[in-house]
Structure 1
Amino acid sequence: MADWLRESARVIGEHRQELIDLDRAIGDADHGENLDRGFSAVLAKLDGADSGTPAALLKIAAMTLMSSVGGAAGPLYGTAFLRAATSLGDTERIGPDDVVGLLTAARDGVVARGKAEPGDKTMVDAWTPAVEAAGTAAMAGASVVEVLAAAANAANAGATATEPLIARKGRASYLAERSAGHLDPGAVSTGLILQAAVDAAGGQP
């Protein structure tokens, strides 16, 4: 879990400008900057916390993102991570079903906080296919890494599929039909963060 959060911080930093540019087209142009600042703060909080349970680390990330990230991203990702932490409880070794549970809880947290549905051109369009793909993979007997990979691939495909959509939630919805033709930055960052989980787990048994 610590490796996932660190890899998320690295990849968000790497794609910071891309996320800014995506958000400039249909939002406030602050998604990349806000997430980069938030995950940098998470990195600082993780020092000395690697011995905590996965849930404890997720909770640290959640509270840090909520307190340090402006706009919608902080509350949405903070709620996602907090719900994911709650789903894990005291679990110390995460199995495929735990992955499905934490992704489902995270998605449900985003939906509860943002009141968005699939097709609204939000990060839910990445989270929902990720949850569905993870569940299918786990039921087929996939490993943790394989479940995460299925989720990340589906999230990235979902993010790509937001391009032709007309936004119905958030600041992008103010543009109405003009929001079509642009990727949703929250869906893109969701794909990046889930791919970071794959990369972090890739070296684990």
Structure 2
Amino acid sequence: MALNSQWVREWVARSAQYIADNRTELIRLDREIGDGDHGENMDRGFKAVSAKVTELPADASPSDILKTVATTLISTVGGASGPLYGTAFLKASQAVKDEDELDGAGIVALLQAARDGIVARGKAEVGDKTMVDAWTPAVRAAEDALAEGATEQQILSAAADAAKVGSEKTDPLIARKGRASYLGERAIGHRDPGSVSSALLLKAAAEVSP
């Protein structure tokens, strides 16, 4: 079953709920290797996103909704996360422009574009202890699932599972980007908060039924 605008709306709503539910944990993680504001910033941003999306007309396309998410995150989320996530959703919106429904290939294109936007904006790669460590495995898993003939829901589930594992694998890494990079080996043993919030967003996408 293809995924439409209602699915995107519900993904946004569930993402906002997951970020709110994990706000304290994201703050804790960021306090250990960053400046401690990731949870607060993301919660504020997705609360604003939820409000903006509800104002959109009923016939707004998936691309319209994703673009609204992007512009709202850029304007409301502080630090590096706003531009990074904003770029991710903006590129995702462009990847599905003029599409009323997203099939498996559309979902993979959306995820690829989001990941590529993050990489282009943050100049990070796998192993740098950033959200890319969640997004790249997610994209690869989605691509593999699509090639194997998986359904849209199975593609999203594969991506979400891979993002969670990728996030967990940031624990032993030395950070090479962002504030955490200043800590050197002291960042070892701490999970990257951006990878955790990324995994939460992909989990939300996978758990919304078409």
Would you call these one fold, judging by a TM-score over 0.5? Answer: yes
Structure 1: segments with no counterpart, 5+ residues:
none
Question: Offset at 1:61?
Answer: 0.3
Which whole-Å CA distance do the structure 1 matches of 2:122 and 2:184 have between them? Answer: 18
Q: Out of 57, 61, 64, which is 2:69 matched to?
A: 61
Q: Out of 127, 132, 154, which is 1:146 matched to?
A: 154
In the alignment, which residue of structure 1 is the partner of 2:118?
110
Which whole-Å CA distance do the structure 2 matches of 1:52 and 1:197 have between them? Answer: 19
Helix, strand or coil for the counterpart of 1:71?
coil
Q: Kindly indicate whether residue 28 of structure 2 is the aligned counterpart of residue 15 of structure 1.
A: no
What per-residue deviation string (whole Å, max 9, x for no partner) do you get for residues 138-176 of structure 1? Answer: 011111110000000000000000000000000000000
The number of aligned residues is 202
In the alignment, which residue of structure 2 is the partner of 1:32?
39
Instruction: Detail structure 1 runs of 4+ shifted over 2 Å in the superposition.
Output: none
**What's the TM-score once normalised by structure 2's chain length?**
0.95
Which whole-Å CA distance do the structure 2 matches of 1:22 and 1:3 have between them? Answer: 27
Corresponding letter in the other structure for 2:23: R
In the alignment, which residue of structure 2 is the partner of 1:194?
202
What does 1:96-175 correspond to in 2, within 5 Å?
96-175=104-183
Which whole-Å CA distance do the structure 2 matches of 1:198 and 1:155 have between them? Answer: 11
In the alignment, which residue of structure 2 is the partner of 1:43?
50
Which whole-Å CA distance do the structure 2 matches of 1:13 and 1:142 have between them? Answer: 31
Q: Kindly indicate whether residue 88 of structure 2 is the aligned counterpart of residue 75 of structure 1.
A: no
Task: Give the share of equivalent positions with the same residue, in percent.
Answer: 57
Which whole-Å CA distance do the structure 1 matches of 2:39 and 2:86 have between them? Answer: 16
Corresponding letter in the other structure for 1:122: T
Question: Offset at 1:48?
Answer: 3.4
Question: Offset at 1:51?
Answer: 2.7
Question: Offset at 1:36?
Answer: 0.2
**What's the TM-score once normalised by structure 1's chain length?**
0.97
Structure 2: segments with no counterpart, 5+ residues:
1-7
Question: Offset at 1:108?
Answer: 0.3
Helix, strand or coil for the counterpart of 1:11?
helix
In the alignment, which residue of structure 2 is the partner of 1:183?
191
* Alignment RMSD: 0.6
What per-residue deviation string (whole Å, max 9, x for no partner) do you get for residues 58-96 of structure 1? Answer: 000000000000001100000000000000011011101
Which whole-Å CA distance do the structure 2 matches of 1:90 and 1:28 have between them? Answer: 39
Which whole-Å CA distance do the structure 2 matches of 1:4 and 1:72 have between them? Answer: 23
Corresponding letter in the other structure for 1:14: D
Question: Offset at 1:46?
Answer: 1.1
Helix, strand or coil for the counterpart of 1:164?
coil
